[in-house]
């Protein structure tokens, strides 16, 4: 039997519904007051997307730095 190959849309085209559990209302309220309202004009969706994107970029930077340091020590 032949396998069917499915072509997925690019990552930017995929939308995922996200649900948070056990997050306190006071934390969400504080995040909205200090971050979402002043910097994202109340757009919570944009604020969370930006936060997640920056976190992934920072993690990539940290991992590349750790790899660089480890490789430097081996030489």
- Close Cβ partners of 43 (under 8 Å, ≥ 6 residues apart): 36
Mean of the pLDDT values across residues 11-22? 83
- Domain assignment present for residue 32? The answer is yes
pLDDT in tens, 24-51: 999 999 999 999 999 999 999 999 999 9
- Domain assignment present for residue 58? The answer is yes
pLDDT at 67: 72
- Domain assignment present for residue 6? The answer is no
Higher pLDDT, 19 or 65: 19
- Domain assignment present for residue 30? The answer is yes
Tell me how far apart the alpha carbons of residues 65 and 44 are, in angstroms, rounded to a whole number: 31
Our count of domains for the chain comes to: 1
State which residues form the domain around 51. 24-74
- Domain assignment present for residue 50? The answer is yes
Tell me how far apart the alpha carbons of residues 24 and 67 are, in angstroms, rounded to a whole number: 37
Mean of the pLDDT values across residues 49-67? 89
Token readout for 29 is: 């309220």
- Domain assignment present for residue 69? The answer is yes
Q: Give the 3-state secondary structure of 7-29.
A: CCCCHHHCCCCCCCCCCCHHHHH
- Domain assignment present for residue 2? The answer is no
């Amino acid at each position: 039997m032949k396998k069917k190959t499915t072509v997925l849309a690019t990552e930017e085209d995929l939308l995922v519904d996200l649900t948070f559990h056990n997050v306190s209302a006071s934390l969400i309220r504080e995040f909205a007051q200090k971050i979402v309202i002043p910097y994202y004009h109340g757009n919570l969706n944009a604020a969370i997307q930006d936060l997640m994107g920056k976190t992934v970029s920072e993690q990539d930077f940290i991992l590349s730095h750790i790899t660089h340091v480890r490789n430097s020590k081996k030489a």
